[in-house]
Amino acid sequence: QVQLVESGGGLVQVGGSLRLSCAASGGTLSGYVMGWFRQAPGKEREFVAAISWSWGSTYYADSVKGRFAISRDNAQNTVYLQMSSLKPEDTAVYYCAAPPRLSGMSTTGDEYEYWGQGTQVTVSA
Q: Are strands 10-13 and 119-124 parallel, antiparallel or unpaired?
A: parallel
Q: What is the DSSP letter of 75?
A: G
Read off the pLDDT of residues 46-73 as tens digits, 9 standing for 90 and up.
999 999 987 789 999 999 999 999 999 9
| Interval 92-116: pLDDT, tens | 999 999 999 999 999 999 999 999 9
Mean pLDDT calculated for residue range 37-45: 97
The dihedral over CA atoms of 60, 18, 118, 107, expressed in degrees to the nearest 10, equals: 0
The alpha helices in the chain, defined as continuous H runs, are: none
Report the chain's mean pLDDT, rounded to a whole number.
Answer: 95
Q: How confident is the model at residue 26 (pLDDT cuts 50, 70, 90)?
A: confident
| pLDDT of res. 69 | 98
Compute the average pLDDT of residues 20-28: 92
